[in-house]
Structure 1
Amino acid sequence: MTTVILSSLTTTQSTKTKKSKLNQLWSDVEKKRQRNQRYQAKLDDFYHYFKTSTEEQEQEVCFATEKWIHHLFSFIPRKTIKGAQREALYDWIQEELAILEANPFNTVNTTELRDTFTEALMADSSNQPETDSITDEELGHFREEMSMMLGHDLDLSDEELLEMVKEPQKFHDYLQELIAEKMEDEHSEGEDDIDWGADDFFSEGNGQANVDSSHNESSKAFFSDKQITKLYRQLAKQLHPDREMDEVKKSEKSILMQQLSQTKKEKDVIALLLMAQQYLPNHEMVMDKDMIERLQATLKEKIRQLNIEHQELQYGNDLKSVIWQKFGGGSKAAREKELRQYRDTLLRETKALFEKCQEIKTVKQLQLHLKDRANASRFEAQLLRMDPSELFGFDDDWF
């Protein structure tokens, strides 16, 4: 059994195998922490540069898209747009709305846009058959129109749908509920989901989850160790802002107390020890065999977590990582060239959207575009139904 002070925990060299292993693990933790901090700083800096140089052009595209969507809205009441062309119009509006909603720099109120879309559809007499004499076929057609608009099947019985046809406000309320649910789901996914981009990211498959659970339980148990509990209390006493008279230092300690509280919440023994090394360097701990083994296991877990964090920084689907993946490669000059080309593309898209608003003024002009879109959708549907041998002209002699 050995008593050590925290300041020497990561630096003391020993010929004992377990102590040397402990020193190496501490060193690996610190190296990987610094690596992740450098990578995060790189992402932060590039994201700030992207916003400064390119956000304005992103928002201009969004404003132009909003105007184009309103322009398409104006054609919904036109009764000469029928059948596949009307479906193509709805699909076009949905496509533009989805593009606008997906842009992280968008400042346009897309909820209001969707409300306007819904109101335009409800006001469209072609979507509102006479309710007193509506047939099953007409109700089915109305269901198809609404399903196409939403992008998925309506979860409504014929009786419920007929009631909403008779009372449009009920259908409007139903659509608002669907939109709210969709926004909530997307927000939840954005916070909680990590797309690693590969199903076999962890080579051990389901077994890795069991290892993770085991490590987490080990870390939680270690955090409850009497020595760790004592260390936490002494740190809390040392860093508590109420014990500080100087206002600047009081503010600094408030931040440190938040960090300390976070270590307790996450049961992060390593973060706690690192804070203690800085603010209680002379604190003594009894390092018996059991303590050393438990500390080694916790350090290994920390290294694993830091490696996962690094993978997430590199290949994650958060905005900063995605922007770096798309534009951050190569030299500084290459990155600037890539961003300059991207800004030029955004400017061209903005110009093209405003030009379409000016050029497509009549139903006849719009119908030419709707016909092309309807034909393209029909061709794609045919391709999906075709056998691959028919698509590529294979016959039995090829096999």
Structure 2
Amino acid sequence: MEITLKPARGNKTATSKLQKRFDRLCSQVESAEKRNRNLDSQLDELVRRHDELMREVDQGIKPELEKLGNRLVDFLTRKTLSRRQRQELADWIGDVGMRLETSDRDAAWALHERFHAAMDAVYGGLEDVDEASDALEDGIDDLFGDNDADYDDDAYDEDDEEWPGPEDAFDEGFAGAGWQQRDGFSASESSSKLTDPGWVRSLFRKAAQALHPDREIDDQKRAGREQRMQQLLAARKQGDLLTMLKLYAEAVGSDEVQIGEKDMEDACDMLRFRLSELKMTHDELVCRTPTHLFLYREVYSPSKKKREQNLRRLQRTLQEDADQFRGVAEKLRNLKVLKEYLEKRRHPLPGDADLDDLLRFLGV
């Protein structure tokens, strides 16, 4: 379908520029829509494969994780541990428990029970329990909590914090960087704020009248009309001008739609708004979960070959990290060695920074 400017007298150069601007915006919108569709499916596939890799790696070190977790719990009741050291130790137990849970939830729960018994031995007899200890136990409960438990949507307020977006969220035609969630403002909601010009409302009404299912007697054709009607309603809600124009052209049986100069200027404004919507949708896809964000930064590429290369690199990194668990329990012979490990966890070496960031995104 072709959307063109109605022939007009006067400055044809200006008219030509307006048509080119409209065509360019149309092309950008179509490219952005395609990019988002690809990103959605490809990123979900990366998450699935990442989870498989994590299960395989953690299954291979399950005995080491159980041994290490139990050894760490043994140290919890030592009186010579400072509050800071005990908290770091509890965090370490939580990290081990999260990894153990991917391969054996029963073993993870047994570790959870041992942890609570040790914490009761430390704090249970005290009348004045430090608030930090309560918060620490709550944190471990969250780490080991039942993944199947109902999530309380009311427990989280979107306005309480802002989430940083990817630094390079708008590569390949998307301009800008650094996205923040804006007070519950999402792409789907923002589009409803668009006040479409009168000619668009008129176009919508004409298309809706032509596509109305009640105009069709045949059941199969009626179902097709109902589907297109739903597309039309969704397009108007989202401010998707191109889809509305295409459905209108289909409804009136024309391969070309001509609009006036003022209407085309309005259309350009709507297309620019649509581009901003698609940019927000792009970031929402990327920031859906911490795992999505991590994989977008470290693995994702529009190129399948590059994604596969990055996945192999990630697999090697995960395996190298898993190998570091081997033999750790045996090395923890006494409190002196334990405290050295705890200090290293608190202050990793400069060369470990990238790996540390990677593991934090993985929940390790």
Q: How many residues align?
A: 314
Offset, 1:221:
3.2
Offset, 1:145:
2.6
Q: 1:181 to 1:287 in 2, by over 3 A?
A: closer
- The aligned residue for residue 343 of structure 1 is 315
Cα distance in 2 for residues equivalent to 1:217 and 1:49: 28
1:165-217 Cα offsets, whole Å, 9 max, x none, are: xxxxxxx99x99xx96799549x59xx9561539xx869xxxxxxxxxxxx89
Query: Is 2:238 the partner of 1:263?
Result: no
Q: 1:90 to 1:320 in 2, by over 3 A?
A: closer
Cα distance in 1 for residues equivalent to 2:287 and 2:191: 28
- The aligned residue for residue 186 of structure 2 is none
What are the within-5 Å matches in structure 2 for residues 223-372 of structure 1? 223=197, 225=198, 227-241=199-213, 252-282=224-254, 290-306=262-278, 308=279, 312=283, 316-318=286-288, 322-328=294-300, 335-350=307-322, 352-353=324-325, 355=326, 360=329, 365=333, 367=335, 370-372=338-340
Cα distance in 1 for residues equivalent to 2:2 and 2:296: 39
Per the alignment, in what secondary structure is the counterpart of residue 221 of structure 1?
Answer: coil
Cα distance in 2 for residues equivalent to 1:278 and 1:36: 23
Offset, 1:128:
1.0
Higher relative contact order (CA 8 A, sep 6+): 1
Preserved contact between residue 213 and residue 222 of structure 2 (Cα < 8 Å): yes
Cα distance in 2 for residues equivalent to 1:77 and 1:248: 69
Cα distance in 2 for residues equivalent to 1:183 and 1:109: 28
Preserved contact between residue 69 and residue 93 of structure 2 (Cα < 8 Å): yes
Offset, 1:124:
2.0
Cα distance in 2 for residues equivalent to 1:30 and 1:114: 58
Query: Is 2:21 the partner of 1:25?
Result: yes
Per the alignment, in what secondary structure is the counterpart of residue 10 of structure 1?
Answer: strand
Cα distance in 2 for residues equivalent to 1:70 and 1:87: 20
Preserved contact between residue 219 and residue 268 of structure 1 (Cα < 8 Å): no
Cα distance in 1 for residues equivalent to 2:111 and 2:216: 54
1:91 maps to a residue whose letter is D
- The aligned residue for residue 146 of structure 1 is 134
Preserved contact between residue 28 and residue 303 of structure 1 (Cα < 8 Å): no
Query: Is 2:165 the partner of 1:195?
Result: yes
Cα distance in 2 for residues equivalent to 1:10 and 1:107: 60
Offset, 1:94:
3.7
Cα distance in 1 for residues equivalent to 2:72 and 2:276: 57
1:338-362 Cα offsets, whole Å, 9 max, x none, are: 3223223334444554x45xx6379
1:42-76 Cα offsets, whole Å, 9 max, x none, are: 43564466467554212234557887379626754
Per the alignment, in what secondary structure is the counterpart of residue 194 of structure 2?
Answer: helix
Preserved contact between residue 25 and residue 299 of structure 1 (Cα < 8 Å): no
Cα distance in 2 for residues equivalent to 1:48 and 1:221: 34
Cα distance in 2 for residues equivalent to 1:183 and 1:60: 35
- The aligned residue for residue 88 of structure 1 is 88
TM-score, with structure 2 as normaliser = 0.60
Q: Of residues 67, 72, 85 in structure 1, which corresponds to 2:69?
A: 72
TM-score, with structure 1 as normaliser = 0.56
Query: Is 2:195 the partner of 1:221?
Result: yes
Preserved contact between residue 239 and residue 257 of structure 1 (Cα < 8 Å): yes
What are the within-5 Å matches in structure 2 for residues 37-116 of structure 1? 37-44=33-40, 46-47=42-43, 50=46, 54-61=50-57, 68=65, 72=69, 76=73, 80-82=77-79, 83-84=81-82, 85-96=85-96, 116=112
Highest CA radius of gyration, 1 or 2?
1
Query: Is 2:4 the partner of 1:10?
Result: yes
Q: 1:122 to 1:218 in 2, by over 3 A?
A: closer
Q: 1:276 to 1:99 in 2, by over 3 A?
A: farther
Cα distance in 2 for residues equivalent to 1:196 and 1:257: 36
Per the alignment, in what secondary structure is the counterpart of residue 30 of structure 1?
Answer: helix
Per the alignment, in what secondary structure is the counterpart of residue 81 of structure 1?
Answer: coil
Offset, 1:303:
4.6
Cα distance in 1 for residues equivalent to 2:286 and 2:151: 26
Cα distance in 2 for residues equivalent to 1:115 and 1:197: 39
1:145 maps to a residue whose letter is S
2:19 maps to a residue whose letter is N
What are the within-5 Å matches in structure 2 for residues 163-174 of structure 1? none
- The aligned residue for residue 154 of structure 1 is none
Per the alignment, in what secondary structure is the counterpart of residue 4 of structure 2?
Answer: coil
Offset, 1:90:
0.7
1:371-395 Cα offsets, whole Å, 9 max, x none, are: 2234346778xxxxxxxxxxxxxxx
- Structure 1 runs not aligned, ≥5 long: 1-6, 132-138, 152-171, 204-215, 381-399
- The aligned residue for residue 125 of structure 2 is 129
Cα distance in 2 for residues equivalent to 1:332 and 1:346: 21
